[in-house]
Amino acid sequence: MSDLAPPNDKKLEVTMALIKGALGSIPFVGSVATELTGLIDPFEARKDKWARTIAKVVEEIRESQKILPETLAANESFISFLYQSTHIAILNHQQEKTEALRNALISTVSLRLPSEEIIFQYLRYIDELTVSHINILSFINEHAETYAKHHSLEEVLITTEQHFSTTFERSHFRAIMYDLANRSLVQFTDLDDFDEFASGVASIITEQSSKKPMNITQLGKGFLDFIRR
């Protein structure tokens, strides 16, 4: 972060303070090893990259939302989110995750959300879910009508593999789907499981009842809105 421009006005000074506070929340490591080995410290490189991201986020919020850096600095919810997202960003190497965190920072002040707690729930999802989880969730959302017609996880797998032009290991794909369902991002309780995982207990469907179609939940849609622009 050494080549970032020094603050020359109040707004930039506050922005630099936000960056310093966020990076200061990360435990001090790495510098001693760098001095001893003379090697480039990847930890410092990640801090530098994230610092630049924060600076761009603060500027975008100022331009698009007309919220000054001073106002952000006084927003306790935003500061907590910034510090927690910084920990996730430093421990991550995937650009898709970094982009999701960047967009999430902006969404904390640009979206009308039902409660403050939900932004931290979404942040936990960004941390816990892989890029594959997020991409599959997004595809299900974009093709909700197609997925609603499926009656088995086998059909869901076939449709997903065709879109991504790849082959998923079956147990891995099943784990991804259940990860999404366990976080209430999708629902597919009535879909038939893969044969190799089927319990063998048949469910009785009466004339008055029918299987519920697979769908993405409102929480799932909200999560995608939160992390994408």
Answer whether 43's CB lies under 8 Å from 23's CB.
no
Q: Is pLDDT above 70 for 77? A: yes
Any idea which of 22-31, 71-80, 196-205, 206-215 has the lowest mean pLDDT?
22-31
The reported pLDDT for the residue numbered 114 is 82
* Dihedral of alpha carbons 140, 143, 146, 149, sign: positive
* Residues forming CATH 1.10.10 domain(s) in the chain: 131-227
- Average the pLDDT over 177-186 and give the result: 98
The interaxial angle of helices 76-90 and 42-65, nearest 10 deg, is 150
- Average the pLDDT over 133-152 and give the result: 96
Return the number of other C-beta atoms located less than 10 Å from residue 123's C-beta.
22
Q: 216 — phi, psi (to 5°)?
A: -90, 140
Q: Is pLDDT above 90 for 212? A: no
131-227 maps to which CATH number?
1.10.10
Listed residue (84, 125, 91, 90) closest to 105, CA to CA = 84
The reported pLDDT for the residue numbered 27 is 62
CA 187/CA 210 separation, integer angstroms: 15
- Its pTM stands at 0.84
Residue-wise pLDDT tens digits, 114-137? 889 999 999 999 999 999 999 999
Token pair, residue 71, equals: 């106002």
- Average the pLDDT over 178-196 and give the result: 95
